Amino acid sequence: MNAFDGRTQGWGMDTFEYDVVIVGAGTAGCYAGATISKAGYDVVIVERKDAEEAGHIACGDALKGADTFPETIPKADIAGSFTNTAVDHGRFEIPQEGTVMEIPVPGELAVIDRWEFGRLLIDGATQAGVDFHYDTVVQDVTQDAAGRVTGVTAKRKGKSRTYEAPLTLDGAGALSILQDKIDFDGSTFDTNVRYSQFSSAYREVIEVPEPVEWSDALVIKPTKRSAGYLWYFPRTPTEINVGLGFQMNEEPMALVSDLREDISQRPELQGATVTDKLGAALPTRRPYDSATAPGYMAIGDAAAHVNPISGGGISGAAYAGQYAGEQAIAALEDENVSEEILWRYNQRVMDHYGGRYAALDVYNIFSTAYGLDELLGLLSALPAEQLSEALYSGSSSVSLGTKLRVLYQAFGHWGTLRELYGTKQLADRLLAHYERYPSTPDGFDAWQAERNSIMDDIYGATGAEAKY
């Protein structure tokens, strides 16, 4: 049913009926909408920004793995936003150690014009048949007596409106308002969510008069405290995305002035002009244990589908959108939107990247227990190939020879090194447990209890403060 067919008047409030209402025209919302719409169902994406501003998202603009993105919105349709496909490694600058590490990035990587990318995703979803309602701020949800989510209420230009649908998908990004409003009692949805599990980040796009030498690298360096990093990602040799972020359990950083200070110290960036500025929160935690409730699925940042070490969340959002979209189709065909039907969505996320991200978060937890100098000293002594493997797979099989080399080079960091290997073993144990994520909600409590006991061991071994 389209917007006009479905509109009813009552008490001055417009009501729209759809098969699926999606909140947020970001990556997750667009992939989900396109998937469901292509199967012939009526989908609306409700977006608070106007049509011009939609797709303008705070981001470092590094797109990892575009070659393997879901085909719902074909790569050919988004490739027009890829402004730099020459990047093949990370350049880790560690001024405290006087070291620069060159670490290869596996798979395809592009730096993109993120706003253009956002617009192209919206075009892709529009071509698939999705309706977009812009300028519409979702403020609340509706639930029936049994607790099933039945839609949302919103405001457009001062006027209230309601969206009714068997299924609501929450693609509203980090710290989604919908999750403050839904009564999750009786569902499996993960409510163990706190600000301290998120990062606050800020970025600018700058233009420099002369091409930078490192236009084939993602430049990364630690902030003055351990839980943050600065980045310089070249959209082109003269247009750079620069930004920084910190974990919100740390003392807040002066993001803008810290960034300005760093830029001013780089000779190659002298004379830069700022063309865009944006800031936002992003989840740097494990994915939500369950992102479903009756009639509802959270996708992308709204369910923490982000690599908690790199902060990369575009590909997780794209896949979450596709998996939730496919599960929505199954539920609509069955006329059953219970968690039992939606559950497979959780399972596919955990199988694909959820377990890996949870394992990577163990290294975040490890890092909060050590001083910056200790960590950087250790980092600069580790071999680049192994770090790359660990960073992207959540684990790494360190051969004996490499181990010895690491031990030799890390002389002076013996204690931290031993703890790191202990942590790696625990991270591997956690990864193996995520491979046993239950196939139905029935096994969820037992799975969660065992996972919590592994986390207790991790906190015990690292001495870190409990994060969850």
Ligand X SMILES: Cc1cc2nc3c(=O)[nH]c(=O)nc-3n(C[C@H](O)[C@H](O)[C@H](O)COP(=O)(O)OP(=O)(O)OC[C@H]3O[C@@H](n4cnc5c(N)ncnc54)[C@H](O)[C@@H]3O)c2cc1C
| Residues lying near ligand X in the complex (CB under 6 A) | 23-29, 46-49, 57-62, 137-138, 171-173, 177, 201, 203, 243, 280, 282, 300-302, 306, 311-314, 317
Nearest-approach distance from CB 363 to ligand X, in angstroms:
18
The residue (of 65 and 80) whose beta carbon lies closer to ligand X is: 65
CA end-to-end span of the chain:
42
The nearest distance, CB 281 to ligand X, in angstroms, is 7
> Are residues 364 and 391 in contact, defined by beta-carbon separation less than 8 angstroms?
no
DSSP letters for 372-387: HHHHHHHHHHS-HHHH
Q: How far is the CB of 301 from ligand X (least distance, A)?
A: 4
Minimum distance from residue 466 beta carbon to ligand X (Å): 25
| Least distance from ligand X to the Cβ atom of residue 426, Å | 26
CB-nearer residue toward ligand X: 295 or 311: 311
User: Any idea which residue has 């996972």 for tokens?
Assistant: 451
Q: Is the dihedral of CA 379, 385, 388, 394 positive or negative?
A: negative
* Contact status, residue 380 vs residue 94, Cβ threshold 8 Å: yes
Q: Tell me the C-alpha to C-alpha distance, in Å, between residue 96 and each of 220, 246, 420.
A: 14, 18, 20
Is the Cβ of residue 349 or residue 417 nearer to ligand X in the bound state?
349
| Residues forming beta bridges with residue 154, ordered by sequence position | 138, 161
Q: What is the 3-state secondary structure (H, E, C) of 48-76?
A: CCCCCCCCCCCCCCEEECHHHCCCCCCHH
Residues 6+ apart with CB under 8 A from 158: none
Q: Between 259 and 282, whose beta carbon lies closer to ligand X?
A: 282
Q: Nearer Cβ to ligand X, position 299 or 365?
A: 299
> With respect to ligand X, which residue has the nearer C-beta, 61 or 419?
61
What pairs with residue 207 in β-bridges?
239, 273
Minimal distance, residue 184 CB to ligand X, in Å? 18
- Strands 217-222, 89-94: pairing is parallel
DSSP string, 77-93: HHGGGEEE----EEEEE
Smallest separation (angstroms) from ligand X to the CB of 445: 28
Tell me the residue number closest to ligand X, measured at CB. 313
- Complex with ligand X: residue 132 or 370, whichever CB lies closer: 132
Shortest Å distance, C-beta 37 to ligand X: 16
Which CB, 69 or 437, lies closer to ligand X? 69
Burial call 254-285: b when 16+ CB within 10 Å, e when fewer: ebeebbeebbeebeebeebeeeeebebbbbbb
